[in-house]
Structure 1
Amino acid sequence: MISLILAESSLELVPEELQLHPSVVSHAQKLGKESSEILLDNSWHYAAMKEIKNEIKRGRPDLVHLSILEATTIPLYFENKVQVFIHTINDKIIYFGKNIRIPKSYHRFAGLFEKLFLEKTIKIKNQELLSIKDQSFSELINQINPSQIIGFSTMGNKSSFEKIGANLKNDSCIVVGGFQKGHFSDPIKKKFTDLFSVRNTSLESHVVVSRILYEYEKTIFM
């Protein structure tokens, strides 16, 4: 089984230093929640986010939603040939239960993951669907213990999805950035055995996820 990690993902609750900003308070009130209970989202909180650390890599939970949908609605996932993890910008790891269905509606996705951040686990009839824990990318890699760790970046060596997919081993780990702009931080890059670029310009995370998983899927099912 290969692994997919969406790394340094733009998925977090509004941090404490922004919770009293008018744009955050107003948005939270519209949702009927406290400022501390909603996802940071630059569509709503752009004015509040101007001074925070790593601004360009934060506040895009919609990108995470699209990427996770791409990874969990394909034959590879339903046949238990890929395990999916979200590593957040704040060093939290989100684990997925077996064959769970992520809401296709962004509104429902946001509500589900806000609940996860607050309650740490989502269960139905004693079956754990989602869980979250404080854990670094490095610790997750050590836990998975893959034979190769492949990252995607415009700074990598030139290749193609087809070539990379054809050469994946069944215990490989694919790492895709779960953020809008920028590059992987040094602690992430140091873990890669290979770093590839498939275009001179960047692609959105969900496009990379869908294309590399499809190419690997072809080696399994076709």
Structure 2
Amino acid sequence: MTSEEPLKKKIKTDQVDLEKRKLIVVLEDCSLETAKVGESYVILSSDKHVKYLLKHKKDPADYRPDILHQCLLNLLDSPLNRAGLLQIYFKTKKNVLVEVSSQCRIPRTFDRFCGLMVQLLHKLQIRSADEKTRLLRVIKNPINDHLPIGCPKILMSVKATECIRPSQIPKDNLNDSYVIVIGGISKGKISTNYTDREVKINNYPLSAALACAKITSGFEEAWDIL
């Protein structure tokens, strides 16, 4: 019994050391708005609700919840997330801030995803089947209150002057956490008041989902996640 105690302590210490370093991805300006269409509440989408949007003088191009869906699938599927080294937040155009658990499994189909998001926005949280884990939850703004103090906070923008490979971002300190902010939009530029650096990872415009995939892949390479 006594001989096993040092081993238990070592495992616990290793887990603490591992948790000190994380990639934190913040998806900003995501389109996620509910409305009652017919008899039920839906997530407004340019593909399905063009008539409703035009009737209410809204631009259908601004209603792309599929972008958030694709980003979350890429992030949650990544080896970085499965290694416990990824934290995800997203903020909607309506300034609703959501924390995503690494254990969350987003529905693969878009319709089921929208149904889940309606439930989230109305109940403010989604729990696991056994009720023990909050998989998604609405949290208080500002996002800065939920980020590690002193860690680099980097905004991704194709208009940035600095171009860098994703794997080179954490090269200065491989043991630090990093915040990467990606716009959950199809075009345009987001502005933030909490980032301290602006970079691009390609000279060509990338979709938000592809940017998520390249960032996680780069950090997996830098942090030797296999």
Q: Does the pair score TM above 0.5?
A: yes
| Deviation string, structure 1 residues 27-61 (Cα, Å, up to 9, x no partner) | xx4xxx42xx2101011223443533xx4773111
Residues paired across the two proteins, number: 197
| Deviation string, structure 1 residues 131-153 (Cα, Å, up to 9, x no partner) | 124x44xx112321351111111
Between the aligned partners of 1:183 and 1:46, the Cα distance in structure 2 is 24
1:3 to 20, 24, 43: 24
Partner of 1:126: 131
Greater gyration radius: 2
Q: Using the aligned pairs only, state the percent identity.
A: 21
Check the 8 A contact 2:81/2:102 in 1, yes or no. no
Between the aligned partners of 2:120 and 2:81, the Cα distance in structure 1 is 22
Runs of 4+ aligned structure 1 residues displaced above 6 Å come to none
Partner of 1:12: 33
Which amino acid is 2:123 matched to?
E
Check the 8 A contact 1:116/1:130 in 2, yes or no. yes
Structure 2 gaps, min length 5: 1-21
When residues 200 and 164 of structure 1 are mapped into structure 2, their CA distance, relative to the original with a 3 A threshold, is same
Partner of 2:83: 79
Check the 8 A contact 1:3/1:84 in 2, yes or no. yes
2:46 to 42, 46, 52: 42
Say which structure is richer in helix. Answer: 1
SS of the equivalent of 1:112 reads helix
When residues 152 and 98 of structure 1 are mapped into structure 2, their CA distance, relative to the original with a 3 A threshold, is closer
**Counterpart check, 1:140 vs 2:143:** yes
Partner of 2:13: none
Structure 1 gaps, min length 5: 20-24
Partner of 2:179: 173
**Counterpart check, 1:204 vs 2:212:** no
Partner of 2:169: 164
Q: TM-score, normalised by structure 2?
A: 0.78
SS of the equivalent of 2:121 reads helix
Check the 8 A contact 1:11/1:89 in 2, yes or no. yes
Between the aligned partners of 1:64 and 1:207, the Cα distance in structure 2 is 12
